[in-house]
Amino acid sequence: MDESNKKNSYEWEKLQNTRHHFISVMAQNMGLYGISETNGRLYGTVLFSEAPMTLDSMSKALEMSKTSMSTGVRALSDACMLSRVWEKGVRKDLYQTEDDWYKSFISVFVNRWREATDNNHNAALEAIDELKEINKQTDDVSLQEQIETDINKLQQAVKYYSWLDEVIALFENGDIFQIVEQK
């Protein structure tokens, strides 16, 4: 191999190593989005692919089963991180990463925030109702005082979840981008 080819080969290897490192770090942090590390590696592989990928090409690139790739594609598609594309003459489904990372973020986080916030908000309201019922039934002054303290804490939680609901709405309706501009 001549010197030029060695240098070229080394530079291509550096490119692949850089991509691999980025994919590894990103995949490790995908749990924040509720995406498994394996699916994070799949996402990174498709992101750096020169062309849309089939399940077969994903399976080969990651040395994993086609079934695993199908499950991963479904999870990433549900998170608006991958989309199916069409190419003339190609009969198999092709996938590429979603270009709009903001859309993906909003899709994933809003769904997770909304569910958690609604669950916590409802639990706080139910707890307040239960505490009020206990308070009606007891003559224990000390217990009544504790119930009142707990109700006050839960009412603060309800206010917080109402605020968080407004924050979530900023993302859902896109108003967040009037506050924090997309880069």
Give the integer Cα–Cα distance in Å for 43 and 72: 9
DSSP 65-133: -HHHHHHHHHHHHHTTSEEEE--TT--S-EEEE-S-HHHHHHHHHHHHHHHHHHHHHHHHHHHHHHHHH
pLDDT for 20-69, tens place per residue? 999 999 999 988 878 899 999 999 999 999 999 999 999 999 999 999 99
Give the integer Cα–Cα distance in Å for 110 and 162: 15
pLDDT at res. 137: 97
Beta bridge partners of 96: 83
Give the integer Cα–Cα distance in Å for 179 and 5: 50
pLDDT at res. 1: 57
Q: Does the reported pTM lie above 0.85?
A: no
Under 8 Å between Cβ of 27 and 40: yes
For the chain, residues with pLDDT lower than 70 are 1-7
DSSP 124-168: HHHHHHHHHHHHHH---HHHHHHHHHHHHHHHHHHHHHHHHHHHH
Pairing of strands 82-85, 94-97: antiparallel
With vertex at residue 152, the alpha carbon angle to CA 109 and CA 126, rounded to the nearest 5 degrees, is 60
Q: Which CATH architecture has domain 3-99?
A: Orthogonal Bundle (1.10)
